[in-house]
Amino acid sequence: MNMYVYEGITESGEKIKGKFFGTKEELLKEVQRQKILITNIKEDTKKLKKGKYTREDFSSNIEELSYLLSSGVQLDKAISLIIKNSRKKAVIEFWEDVLRKLKEGKSFSIALKETGEQHNFPIQSFYINIVSVGEEVGDLKGALKTLLEDLEFKGNLIKEIKSALAYPSFLFVVSILTIFFVSGFILPKFSNIFTPEEIEKLPSISKFTLSFGKTLNQNLDVIMFGLVFFIIGIVFLFSSKEIQSRLKNVIYKIPYLKNIILKVELSYVLSSLGTMLNGGVEISKAIKLSSKVTNHSTLKAILEETFNELKKGHKISQIWRKYDIIPEDIISLAIVGENSARLGEIFEKLGKKYMENFKNDVAKLLVFLEPAIIVVLGLFIAFIVVAIMLAVVSVSDIYG
């Protein structure tokens, strides 16, 4: 498929210019359907960028859609403009498929969901729910604006975490390289100073250190080969949904980490509830849809029970009060929201509050991580130095 630039005349005599991504035959069928008389067609010689459809692409496209719809442009024409203006093949193909599904009569939310699955870019249920709600209440512009705000917020959060992790990651890599360099190259040279008989008479710590370095040096190619396969195996395992699920269950049991994870999951649930309630969605439906947002099994079970209990006439605050996992401030403010008919607004503010708490906790964890890596590297170097010093002193004693 290629990009074509064409000129033509409409039935009313208006001269138009346009771009089309696809085959020339598909272009001719499309202009014939629109009853456009083509006067000129040429292939756009500019090369399209390669690469997968990314989160950044999706965020940028949603921003464009939001602006176009706010300007009064119809959805199908807005998507066509994204296709025409894009210079990336993956973006064009993604939105071509969305547009095709819309023309088949599918809703925008369904078209997004199916296209995401088709292009190996699964879109979060939360986002699909937001768009679906926007379609139901006739406010797709507002839904896209909310979606964009969430995308920007999470995008900034990811950038902040990556930025915070940059230095600890650098320290970790340097530490590993230092360990390999010292063990694989310096220790073997030092061990050559001693005869096998002398090494046998050295203290255990010195003997172990020198033997370890010699073994590492002799089998460096095998170790590097094994390390590469180990990394590939880890990546493969972590791509498995079953392994991811088990890993989450383990993380949820680690005291400090489970509290951090709970805060971000609460933020997702509360933000989802706030968005839907403010958009006019009935509360029980908002609860049901929000249960799809979280991966936390306990929270999911609580939301499912909440959905069932609401049908019996119980209030959210009454239901959530039974669970220790739900913080007291959420229950207190839920009562205020129920009594003041501002539940959506309160949930939205609580969602932002818990996301800020999550960011602060991550920052604290990273602050602890940096000195921890330095201490571990320092201990390793100290271990090597002590082993070498003991070896030198012991040999002096042997021949002294």
Last residue of one domain, picked from the residues 154, 183, 214: 154
Last residue of one domain, picked from the residues 119, 134, 154: 154
Last residue of one domain, picked from the residues 120, 154, 188: 154
Over residues 28-87, the pLDDT tens digits come to 887 788 888 888 887 765 567 888 888 889 989 998 998 888 888 888 889 888 887 888
- Helix extents (H) in 239-342: 241-251, 255-278, 283-290, 297-310, 316-320, 328-340
What's the CATH code of the domain at 287?
Answer: 1.20.81.30
In a domain, 301, yes or no: yes
Residue 202 structure tokens = 């050295």
Specify whether 220 is located in the same domain as 119: no
Specify whether 21 is located in the same domain as 79: no
Specify whether 113 is located in the same domain as 185: no
Specify whether 206 is located in the same domain as 139: no
Specify whether 213 is located in the same domain as 277: yes
In a domain, 132, yes or no: yes
Burial 220-247 (b: 16+ CB within 10 A, else e): eeebeeeeeeeeeeeeeeeeeeeeeeee
Burial of 117 (0-12, 13-18, 19+ CB in 10 A): exposed
Specify whether 186 is located in the same domain as 289: yes
Residue 8 backbone phi and psi in degrees, to 5: -165, 180
Place of tokens 């009313």: 12
Burial 33-62 (b: 16+ CB within 10 A, else e): eeebeeeeeeeeeeebeeeebeeebbbbbb
Q: Considering only CA atoms, which of 352, 289, 287, 268 is closest in space to residue 133?
A: 289
In a domain, 49, yes or no: no
The residues, any chain, with a CB within 8 Å of residue 340's CB and separated by 6 or more, are none
In a domain, 159, yes or no: no
Specify whether 361 is located in the same domain as 342: yes
Specify whether 343 is located in the same domain as 215: yes
Specify whether 132 is located in the same domain as 242: no
Q: Is the pTM of this model over 0.75?
A: no
Q: What is the pLDDT of residue 397?
A: 60
Specify whether 343 is located in the same domain as 207: yes
Residue 118 structure tokens = 């088709």
- pLDDT tens, per residue, the chain with 400 residues: 566 778 888 888 888 887 776 677 777 887 788 888 888 887 765 567 888 888 889 989 998 998 888 888 888 889 888 887 888 888 888 998 998 899 888 999 999 999 999 998 888 877 887 788 778 777 788 788 878 877 877 777 777 777 767 777 787 788 777 777 777 777 777 777 777 777 777 778 877 777 777 777 777 778 778 878 887 877 777 666 677 667 777 777 777 788 888 888 888 888 878 877 877 778 888 888 788 778 788 888 999 999 998 888 888 988 999 888 899 999 999 999 888 888 888 998 998 898 888 888 877 877 777 788 778 778 877 877 777 777 777 766 655 5
In a domain, 160, yes or no: no
In a domain, 48, yes or no: no
Domain that holds residue 31: 2-43
- If one counts the domains in the chain, the total is 3
Element (H, E) at 6: strand 2-9
Q: What is the pLDDT of residue 346?
A: 92
Specify whether 68 is located in the same domain as 33: no
Q: What is the pLDDT of residue 115?
A: 93
In a domain, 50, yes or no: no
Residue 282 structure tokens = 């009935």
CA distances to 239, 295, 325 from 249, rounded to whole Å, are 16, 10, 16
HSE-CB for 39 with a 13 A CA cutoff: 10
Specify whether 181 is located in the same domain as 134: no
